[in-house]
Amino acid sequence: MSNPRKVVELFYDVVSPYSWLGFEVLCRYRNVWNLDLRFRPAYLGGVMHLSGNKPPAIVPNKAIYMATDLDRQAKYCNIPLRFPANPFEAMFEKGSLNAMRFVTAVSEKEKVGDSLVEKVSRELWKRIWSTDQDITEPASLSEAGLKAGFSASEVEELLKLAKSQQVKDKLKQATAEAMEHQAFGFPFIVCHMDGKPEAFFGSDRFELMAYCIGKYGFEHVVSRHLCTVFFL
Ligand SMILES: N[C@@H](CCC(=O)N[C@@H](CS)C(=O)NCC(=O)O)C(=O)O
């Protein structure tokens, strides 16, 4: 009998650069580890507030460390991550609420197998964390939606849907579900192991995750995290 696919939930927000790294590496491992990878767009601002945590970058030494660490990790993983000119404005003043509502609207429309949430999330990450572009304005969200493969009329519909109570509630619900797993930051990855959830914080726990899901051994954890060449 074949092994059933392990359900892995990735709670993330496109404001979080470490979530981008975790997202791309998990996408690469998805087939190698036979995962049923479920994207859970949620709101990092809500998780910070509800858990009583603070963004790490507000501690000056952490911010300095993170700039170096992210640059190093991005090179290691082959992901074209670059800091925006004004990271504080992008992360804390502009934020990601509109963007995450837009991704949530896409999740409402997604059909099994069309990976639109994956594509639109990647387009938004590229904007904020690679090409230093806005992710708050409707025109910015439209561009990301078009690049992800939606038609102009579908994008219009998604922008409308993103403002609906139904989508606002769905994003709150996903954030609440992350909190049920005691999340305090992103990426927050929940592996379902024979009915028992096992949670991992960060994009730097893949070896440990492999061990926990029974994929330990060098044939499963490949150097430089399956080093896909990334085209922007
Ligand atoms: N060591 C983790 C750091 C992840 C991280 O700092 N995530 C930020 C968002 S980009 C966060 O939510 N941090 C909460 C915390 O550090 O308590 C990694 O390499 O991925």
The pLDDT tens digits for 20-71 are 999 999 999 999 899 999 999 999 999 999 999 999 989 999 999 999 999 9
Q: Is the dihedral of CA 178, 184, 186, 192 positive or negative?
A: negative
Which among 125, 78, 120, 116 has a CA at the least distance from the CA of 231? 78
CA distance linking residue 64 with residue 43, whole number of Å: 24
Give the pLDDT band of residue 232 (cuts 50, 70, 90). Answer: very low
Spell out the long-range contacts of 81-85 with Cβ–Cβ below 8 A and sequence spacing 24 or more.
Answer: 81/17, 81/20, 81/21, 81/129, 81/130, 82/129, 82/130, 82/131, 82/132, 83/129, 84/128, 84/129, 84/132, 85/132
Mutate to test the pocket of ligand 1, among 184, 201, 205, 209 (most ligand atoms within 8 A of CB): 201
Tell me, yes or no, if 142 is annotated catalytic: no
Which atom belonging to ligand 1 lies closest to the Cα atom of 185? Answer: 12
The pLDDT tens digits for 142-195 are 999 999 999 999 999 999 999 999 999 999 999 999 999 999 999 999 999 888
Residue located via tokens 């509109």: 98
Nearest CA to ligand 1 atom 10: 16
Mutate to test the pocket of ligand 1, among 15, 18, 54 (most ligand atoms within 8 A of CB): 18
Instruction: Please tell me the distance between residue 153's alpha carbon and the centre of ligand 1 in angstroms.
Output: 37
CA distance linking residue 114 with residue 37, whole number of Å: 13
Nearest CA to ligand 1 atom 16: 56
CA distance linking residue 220 with residue 143, whole number of Å: 37
Please, are residues 213 and 224 in contact by the beta-carbon 8 Å criterion? no
Please, are residues 21 and 49 in contact by the beta-carbon 8 Å criterion? no
Which among 61, 63, 53, 69 has a CA at the least distance from the CA of 18? 69
Instruction: Please tell me the distance between residue 54's alpha carbon and the centre of ligand 1 in angstroms.
Output: 11
Contacts of 93 (CB under 8 A, 6+ apart): none
Please state the pTM of the whole predicted model.
0.94
**How many Cα atoms occupy the beta-carbon half-sphere of 199 within 13 Å?**
14
Which among 56, 204, 187 has a CA at the least distance from the CA of 121? 187
> Directed axis angle between helix 116-129 and helix 138-147, to 10°?
130
**Cis bond before residue 17 (omega within 30° of 0):** no
Say what the pLDDT of residue 231 is.
46
Amino acid at site 161: L
